[in-house]
Amino acid sequence: MLPESSIAFLKRLLDTPGPSGFESAPARVWREEARAFADVTNDVAGNSMAVVNPNGTPTIMLAGHIDEIGVIVTYIDDEGYLYISGIGGWDPQVLVAQRIRIMGRDGDVYGVIGKKPIHVIKPEDRKKASEMTDLWIDIGATSRDDAEKLVSVGDAGVIDSRTIDFPNNCIVSRSIDDRIGAFIVLEALRRYSEQPGSARVVAVATTQEEIAFQGGGARVSATRIGPQMAIVVDVTHATDYPTAEKKEHGHHKIGGGPVLTRGSIVSPVVYALLRDAATRLSVPYTIHAAGRESWTDADAIHVAREGIATALLSIPNRYMHSPNEMVSLEDLDRAAAVIAEACRAVNGETDFTAR
């Protein structure tokens, strides 16, 4: 099981707002934790790196992105209402009537998402889905000047929700995607530091994955670190809820262990390292097949530099990109154990080319 100190760190990390491009606050929390057992640096792209066994070989990169989806203020009208667009992929229905936490110049500013009440919506329009342009944020201001004392165009925000414990060792949070990836790679590094192998291992809390059409912070950090192997940790859709289509997405259950991806961008060598580590530790896992891109940092990392042998390990997550994403703490613990074990199996003789 995860130590209580690790769970406390995880909750601090999850509750600290940091949408894509605005990740500095959770990144500071991550680096503070990492300094207890690793050498820590960061870069101009906002990535945070923690190194164990700095003189070891080969180099392994463990990547989990620390950003979350959010909103950004695009306009303030004369009455002091704020208009927004999304940072990352939103279903606008999720935003309706939510409370919002805006990262203002002098601290957090709280607002509520407004929408025309159903009583005054024309009957023929009531079943239509809301668009982002149908919504606004009310911060209680009475004018543009009043609002601009607190917020500016370009300020980012997140849904105002906090991490809560659920039965059966589960947690719920708005930022599980993919703050838990950043958590797991650091937890795996901590466990590796207690019993290091031959490899130099670098855990990275990467940035801008949710908007990473060009690879985001993962591409930058992979180029800087120069690893021979990488393990990316992200979330995937749990399919243990009503209406889930297992024939399309596989069967991945919360509490059923990590999900290992097999597919076109995944190194067969690194996949086998993870699979064999899970087997040695008697950790249950499921397999996800991906015939094209993975829509994770792995897509950028595996083609960085001269090519990096990359695998993807994911955590089953219910209700992705909502205020109430849900995962099992047991799956996080198992994932960290498997990754640390796989890193110990790597040495200077490991051949990362599939032959």
Residue 118's pLDDT is what? 67
- What would the pLDDT profile of 321-344 be if each residue is shown by its tens digit? 999 999 999 999 999 999 999 999
Is residue 122 over pLDDT 80?
no
Segment (H or E) for 107: strand 107-114
Q: Name the active-site residue from 209, 210, 325, 341.
A: 209
What one-character DSSP code corresponds to residue 210?
G
In terms of pLDDT, which residue wins out, 38 or 294?
38
Instruction: Tell me which residue of 33, 343, 26 sits closest to 191, measured CA to CA.
Output: 343
- Sheet with 325-328, edge to edge strand ranges: 164-166, 170-173, 325-328
**What average pLDDT does the segment 42-71 reach?**
97
Task: Delimit the domains of the chain by residue range.
Answer: 4-68+174-344, 70-159
* 209 catalytic per annotation: yes
CATH number for the 4-68+174-344 domain, one of 3.40.50.300, 3.90.230.10, 3.40.630.10, 3.40.640.10? 3.40.630.10
199 Cβ contact list (under 8 Å, min separation 6): 53, 56, 57, 58, 59, 60, 229, 343, 344, 346, 347
The pair of three-digit structure tokens given for residue 53, joined into one six-digit string: 């066994």
This prediction has a pTM of: 0.95
**What average pLDDT does the segment 62-90 reach?**
96
Distance CA 143, CA 84 (A): 17
Sign of CA dihedral 179, 180, 181, 187: positive
The pair of three-digit structure tokens given for residue 77, joined into one six-digit string: 């009208």
70-159 and 4-68+174-344 share a CATH fold:
no
Residue 58's pLDDT is what? 98
The proportion of the chain whose per-residue pLDDT surpasses 90, expressed as a percent, equals 84
Tokens 């025309």 belong to residue:
116
Tokens 């889905």 belong to residue:
129
**What average pLDDT does the segment 285-292 reach?**
92
Sign of CA dihedral 232, 67, 324, 243: negative
224 Cβ contact list (under 8 Å, min separation 6): 43
CATH number for the 70-159 domain, one of 2.40.30.40, 3.40.50.300, 3.90.1150.10, 3.30.1360.170? 2.40.30.40
